[in-house]
Chains A and B, each alone.
Chain A
Amino acid sequence: AQSVTQLGSHVSVSEGALVLLRCNYSSSVPPYLFWYVQYPNQGLQLLLKYTSAATLVKGINGFEAEFKKSETSFHLTKPSAHMSDAAEYFCAVTPFGNEKLTFGTGTRLTIIP
């Protein structure tokens, strides 16, 4: 069985500051891990994914995430926040790409001007 825990339902950072969104997972098999972003009243857009290749994954819009097996973590970071980054972010896990995704509860990111 898989599960995801996202610490912090709300995160606020100043424009230009580091963004760090936390995700810890539980999986009985080597996982596929994803970060998706959701803007209000829209679907989910894929930011990046980990599928057992490089542990440091680079995604779109300057985001990246590092898979740490020893810590069962897949935290999302961005060096410098932009106003357009304000959205809801979901971490998700699956044992295989074509199986259901198990989502975390989401983190709402607010950017302070």
Chain B
Amino acid sequence: GAVVSQHPSRVICKSGTSVKIECRSLDFQATTMFWYRQFPKQSLMLMATSNEGSKATYEQGVEKDKFLINHASLTLSTLTVTSAHPEDSSFYICSAYRGGEDTQYFGPGTRLTVL
């Protein structure tokens, strides 16, 4: 299967600071990447769809000015949580679409804790 990495795997920050999370497709190019959020013992909820070279498409209820997404290359998408608050603490998971297999592959996730 395809390999998707995320960095960092865990981050703890103070309230009010910004945090950047990277999602990389290591062995394939991904024109489309997705960002999901998962609360404890719950399912994944899509936050936004990221297309290389264009603006991200956000799901209803997701603040685009708070969750900044940049998909600057075919192997890298970043999610920046701006002015993070404790309620932003969550597990953030990205996926990358591999066209040849018509399948999304997921990264290992980033656990964000905002104090």
Which residues of A pack against B, CB within 8 Å?
Answer: 32, 34, 36, 41-46, 49, 51, 90, 96-101, 103-106
Q: Is B60 an interface residue when CB atoms closer than 8 A count as contact?
A: no
Chain B positions within 8 Å of A36 at CB level = 106
Chain A positions within 8 Å of B105 at CB level = 46
B107 touches A43 (CB 8 A): yes
Chain B interface, DSSP helix/strand/loop, else mixed: strand
A101 touches B46 (CB 8 A): yes
Q: Is B7 an interface residue when CB atoms closer than 8 A count as contact?
A: no
B43 touches A98 (CB 8 A): no
Q: Is B97 an interface residue when CB atoms closer than 8 A count as contact?
A: yes
Q: Which B28-75 residues have C-beta < 8 A from chain A? A: 31-32, 34, 42-44, 46, 49, 59
Q: Is B8 an interface residue when CB atoms closer than 8 A count as contact?
A: no
Give 29 pairs: A residue, B residue, CB < 8 Å, sorted on A: A32-B102, A34-B103, A36-B106, A41-B111, A42-B108, A43-B4, A43-B6, A43-B106, A43-B109, A44-B44, A44-B106, A46-B1, A46-B103, A49-B103, A51-B102, A96-B102, A97-B99, A97-B102, A98-B31, A98-B32, A98-B99, A98-B102, A100-B34, A100-B46, A100-B59, A101-B34, A103-B43, A105-B43, A106-B43
By CB atoms of chain A within 10 A, which of B34, B42, B106 has the most? B106
Give bound CA distance, A87 to B12, whole Å. Answer: 26
| Count: A-B pairs, CB below 8 Å | 58
Chain B positions within 8 Å of A32 at CB level = 102
Chain A positions within 8 Å of B42 at CB level = 105-106
Give bound CA distance, A96 to B97, whole Å. Answer: 11
Give bound CA distance, A41 to B6, whole Å. Answer: 13
Chain A positions within 8 Å of B90 at CB level = none
A10 to B: closest C-beta gap in Å:
11
Give bound CA distance, A73 to B44, whole Å. Answer: 20
Give bound CA distance, A73 to B106, whole Å. Answer: 24
A43 touches B102 (CB 8 A): no
B38 to A: closest C-beta gap in Å:
9
Residue of B nearest to A94 (CB): B104
By CB atoms of chain B within 10 A, which of A34, A36, A44, A46 has the most? A44
